[in-house]
Every structure is written in structure tokens, then in C-alpha cells.
Amino acid sequence: MFTGIVEETGTIERIESSPVGARLRISCRAVLADAFPGSSIAVNGVCLTALDPAAEAFSADLAPETLARTNLGDLKPGSIVNLERPLAPSGRLSGHIVQGHVDGTGELLAIEPLGEDNWWLTVRIPEDLDRYLVYKGSICLDGISLTIARIEDRVLTCTIIPHTIRHTNLRARRPGDRINIECDILAKHVEKLLSRLEAPWLSNSQPRT
């Protein structure tokens, strides 16, 4: 489990395509402090398995499903990515519950300055994810835990504070980029539970005369 609090940004050293997916090599440092082969590391909000971790880089394999559902297939050498290690049992849940299982991608429409290095981030979201997103609810965008400040007609806006813009890949993002989206897992569980319930007033009601 992750929290959506980005620990550092890494840089893509190379990406190698294959008939069954691709392999990334990512240059970084902080998230490798206690990494071992098989460790989980979230890359732009996608939970990946660390391979060949060294002092300043690690590799990760991307399955076809990952390439199809996330923006990791858009990466190229030099791309900046957000990185986070899983939450330790003794850690604080500073963001919200993030699984690293991306639901889909949205389109970055704008990053507009508000002054003093604060920003409005505007993203168009897929229609099938709209029902899981609410005003003041949590959302994970490229692995960043954010609060929805506005949502209307499948367009959501989040406020980006100076710390976030300086310590994540948002500083390198441009309109038109694809953004990974993970919705709040609680919303998806509630939807499934409610879909299995039958309203008692419908099952017990008698026809009106």
C-alpha cells in the first residue's frame, strides 16, 4: 500500500520494448535506500517490482496491461517520474490509501499559476471513472495524493502547492500529456456492495390500487 506522498523524482535512463511488454531503467536514489530485488516501488502511481536495484538505479518490467492502461508507455529517456516506496507498518498515512493499481489515464488540460508558486491543475477524466470522483474527495494523479477542488462535466481541478510542484514531475508536465488516475478504492467497494443490495421497499411493496 502507498499513500500518494512522492518521495523523490527519478529519470528514465532507458526503455527497452519486447514482444511481451517493456523494461524500464530508472535513475534515482532515495527509494533505493532499503530496496532489494522484488521490492515494490510506485512509478507515476503504478506499483512495479524492482529488478537489479543498485545504489542509483533500478529496473522494472512492464506488462502489456500496464502499457495499455497507464502512461508508462509514453515515457522516453530523460522523462521525469514520481517515485514512492510502500508504506511501512510504523509509518503515517499522510495522503490516502493508494494501491498502485491505475484505473486509467486522463488528459492534462492546463497547469495555471495562481501566484507564489501555487497552481491550478486541470484534467479531463474518462467517463467510466467519473462516478468514483467527488468534490473534496481524494484522487491519485501520477502517484500524487490530491484533493479534488472542483469537478464538472468530466473535468476536475486540483490545487497544487509549492512543495508539490517542486518535488514531483508536475513541473515537467505539459497540456496534452496523459496522467495516471487511481480512484479511491473505498468508492469502488461501496459501489459493488450497493449493487448487490435490493431495496427492501421494492421487494416487499404491493402493487397500488
Residue 95 in any domain: the answer is no
How much is the average pLDDT of 99-127?
96
Range of the domain at 77: 8-84
157 has catalytic annotation: no
State yes or no: is 63 an active-site residue.
yes
Q: What's the CATH number where 174 sits?
A: 2.40.30.20
9 among known catalytic residues? no
Examine the domain organization and report whether 75 and 17 are in the same domain: yes
Domain co-membership, 74 together with 115: no
Residue environment code for 16-53, b if the CB has 16+ CB neighbours within 10 A, otherwise e: eeeeeebebbbebeebbeebeeebbbbbbbbbbebeeb
Give yes or no: residues 62 and 129 share one domain. Answer: no
Please identify which of the residues 27, 40, 57, 159 carries the catalytic annotation.
Answer: 40
Question: Considering the domain boundaries, does residue 123 fall inside one?
Answer: yes
Q: Which residue in 147, 149, 163, 189 is the catalytic one?
A: 147
Catalytic-role residue among 54, 63, 68, 172:
63
- Put residue 200 in one of left, alpha, beta given phi > 0 → left and psi -120 to 50 → alpha: alpha
94 in a structural domain: no
Which of 43, 145, 44, 66 has its CA nearest to residue 98?
145
Tens digits of per-residue pLDDT, 21-71? 999 999 999 999 999 999 999 999 999 999 999 999 999 999 999 999 999
Q: Are residues 116 and 185 in the same domain?
A: yes
Catalytic residue among 11, 27, 101, 187: 101
pLDDT digits (tens, 9 = 90+) for 160-185: 999 999 999 999 999 999 999 999 98
Whether residue 209 is predicted with pLDDT greater than 50 in this model: the reply is no
Does 111 share its domain with 178? yes
